[in-house]
Amino acid sequence: MPNGEGYEHAPTDYGPLTQQQAENIADLAARRAEERMYARVGRSVVGRALYAIGAAVCALAVWLSGWFHVTLGPPK
């Protein structure tokens, strides 16, 4: 029977999953979901930290330009 015609399931189907196989699949899926969640949270935290550092550097530059009368840009 070419292309699996006449089969109720695909020809490579070895029957229903055992309880242990289903638990292993569920554990693997949970681990992958957890890894993806931590990766997203990590990217978010790093992005916010870089944003805060950039804002602090800009604020420091503005403060120093007023304190030391340094101009930010080409000389006049």
Is position 9 within any domain? no
Per-residue pLDDT of the chain (76 residues; tens, 9 = 90+): 455 555 555 555 677 888 999 999 999 999 999 999 999 999 999 999 999 999 999 999 888 877 666 566 676 6
Q: What is the pTM of this model?
A: 0.50
In a domain, 53, yes or no: yes
Residue 4 covered by a domain: no
CA distances from residue 3 to 7, 10, 17, 22, 71 in whole angstroms, order as listed: 9, 9, 23, 27, 76
CB 64 within 8 A of CB 70: yes
- pLDDT score at 20: 92
Answer yes or no: is 5 within a domain.
Answer: no
Q: What is the pLDDT of residue 62?
A: 83
pLDDT score of 61:
85
Boundaries of domain holding 38 = 14-67
Confirm whether 63 is domain-assigned.
yes
Give percent helix, percent strand, percent coil of the chain, each to the nearest 5: 70, 0, 30
Number of structural domains the chain divides into: 1
